[in-house]
Amino acid sequence: MEFHTQIEAARKGIFTPQMQNVAQEEHIAPEILMQRVAAGTIVIPANRNHKNLRACGVGQGLRTKINVNLGISGDCRDYMCELEKAKLALKYDAEAIMDLSNYGKTNTFRKQLLELSPAMIGTVPMYDAVGYLEKDLRDIKAKDFLEVVRAHAAEGVDFVTIHAGINRKSIDSFERSGRRMNIVSRGGSLIYAWMKMTGNENPFFEYFDDLMDILYEQDVTISLGDAMRPGCNDDATDAAQVSELVELGLLTERAWKHNVQVMIEGPGHMTLNEIAPNMLLEKRLCHNAPFYVLGPLVTDIAPGYDHITSAIGGAVAAAAGADFLCYVTPAEHLRLPSIPDVKEGIIAAKIAAHAGDLAKGLPGAREWDNRMSDARQKLDWDAMFDQALDREKAEEYFKSTNPTDKHTCTMCGKMCAVRNMNRIMNGENVLLK
């Protein structure tokens, strides 16, 4: 029986090799997985041309996944450095990598990334349009944008962020809202600028059905981008953000009719008390499609530490139903991240994702923590390092000082509560000298 996409296969009762891999890794019953893929509440981004992909599921009842952004800019054009960042993302088991390169001809790098990565690869074709088409933004025609998407799909990209929800209706809400930070989405701002300069409708909205035909052909998942995401806490959950979310919900249903898989991108900055309501709102308006959040950053005052502000928000979002977290590095708002920045961002996002899984009671999440606790109770340092999210850092910290008693660390020494409880409960004396 012929099919092009994972959602189409599920609707036809076909259990694909990609579904089998997800079912095994997530310990989910095949029939439940197939039902959720068919309903669109789980996506398995898996371009037919990404040959070495390790299929991964995102959505209802699955582990919270993380994405790592990388790519060159006009000011930083070192592709080799970006490949090293990709290798680091794979080392720490990031499930997705997005190439956000926005300068020159990027397809050579993208092909190298696809050959290297078993993780799913995403792009924002709008970033590539000017370099690919060799035209100024104003001179690009509506159908030209679709050709860039077609090229990315043919190369093997597993998901694309498309800002299709920013249309004449939604920008009316934005223009009347008096936002503090206007539009902070790079792709969204380019679409808005093109619309204002040409007087035309958003091409991705106007030709949405044609776009779906392109994505359907190679099974590219559409990540419906949030052009109107808040860029500061003061703009969160305003008319512009919510009006676009309504449009994204309508576009989700249209994409499903084309048998195209859908994710929804979510807010960037908002205070802690707004995060859970926003998760519920997205699930309600977008029919429980998987939610991919960009943070959220819970305060705007910590440049240099935004991997922490993001991890706080990401943990709350994941606990409240977000399915996919985009990492944020310490360099956010300041520069293109370095390799050390990327590592900090990955670890922070992984912590947030796992914290969310614990809160949701995801099967297997607590067992990992329990293995660490058992190792700590036994003062088994090697076992602790084995369970550590970042073994290298944990081992480096421990070995950087020399405790008198090798079974303790230099924080408590012989007053270590774990050591002394183990002794006293075994009927031994506690000796502090």
Binding residues for [4Fe-4S] cluster: 409, 412, 416
Q: E strand or H helix at 58, and its extent?
A: strand 58-59
Strand 324-326 relative to strand 96-99: parallel, antiparallel, unpaired? Answer: unpaired
* Residues 122 and 157: beta-carbon distance below 8 Å: yes
* Residues placed in the known binding site: 69, 98, 127, 163, 185-187, 226-229, 265, 269, 292, 333, 409, 412, 416
Tokens of 66: 């993380």
- In single-letter form, the type of residue at position 23 comes to A
Length of the chain: 433
β-sheet bridge partners, residue 121: 97
Residue 306 CA, chain-centre distance (Å), reads 16
Compute the distance between CA of residue 94 and CA of residue 122 in angstroms, rounded to an integer. Answer: 13
* Residues placed in the known binding site for substrate: 69, 98, 127, 163, 185-187, 226-229, 265, 292
Q: E strand or H helix at 69, and its extent?
A: strand 65-70
Can you list the alpha helix ranges (DSSP code H) found in 161-202? 168-177, 186-198
* Residues placed in the known binding site for Zn(2+): 269, 333
| CA geometry: angle 60, 66, 71, nearest 5 deg | 140
Backbone angles phi, psi at 221, to 5 degrees: -75, 135
Gyration radius of the chain's alpha carbons: 23
Q: For residue 274, give the nearest of 327, 304, 306, 232 by alpha carbon.
A: 232
Strand 96-99 relative to strand 120-123: parallel, antiparallel, unpaired? Answer: parallel
- In single-letter form, the type of residue at position 324 comes to F
Give one word for 331, left, alpha or beta, with left for phi > 0 and alpha for psi -120 to 50.
Answer: alpha
Tokens of 93: 């088991």
Strand ranges (E), 338-425 = none
* Residues 18 and 55: beta-carbon distance below 8 Å: yes
**For residue 92, how many C-alpha atoms fall within 13 Å in the half-sphere facing its CB?**
27
Q: For residue 60, give the nearest of 349, 379, 338, 286 by alpha carbon.
A: 286
Tokens of 35: 């039902």
Q: What is the DSSP letter of 297?
A: B
- In single-letter form, the type of residue at position 243 comes to S
